[in-house]
Amino acid sequence: MAIIINLDVMMAKRKKGLTELAGEVDITPANLSILKNNKAKAVRLATLDAICKALGCQPGDILEYVEDEEDASPEESSAT
């Protein structure tokens, strides 16, 4: 997937644990763990909003677009 979730990085920067953040965001620790480990297929905007409020960050601090290698054109992937 081309979207990377850097929630673990922001949690470390803010020194917040999974259980603490889950309580603040009102999401189960299991579901937050899925997000943190980049296993989620989707995230609700309300959840993203709550996470950003709790961590004092912007959505771009958590979400990152990285082009898939299989999507890259042959010229881009063969250039070294």
The topology under which CATH files domain 3-66 is 434 Repressor (Amino-terminal Domain) (1.10.260)
**Which pLDDT does position 80 carry in this prediction?**
47
* Mean pLDDT within 62-77: 73
Is the pLDDT reported for residue 27 higher than 80?
Answer: yes
pTM: 0.80
Instruction: Provide the pLDDT for residue 68.
Output: 79
The three state secondary structure string of 16-45 is CCHHHHHHHHCCCHHHHHHHHCCCCCCCCH
pLDDT band at 73; cut points 50, 70, 90 = low
Mean pLDDT of the chain: 89
Q: Round to whole Å and give the CA distance between 7 and 2.
A: 15
Asked whether the beta carbons of 4 and 62 are under 8 A apart, the reply is: no
| The pLDDT of residue 75 is above 90 | no
Q: Where are the domains of the chain?
A: 3-66
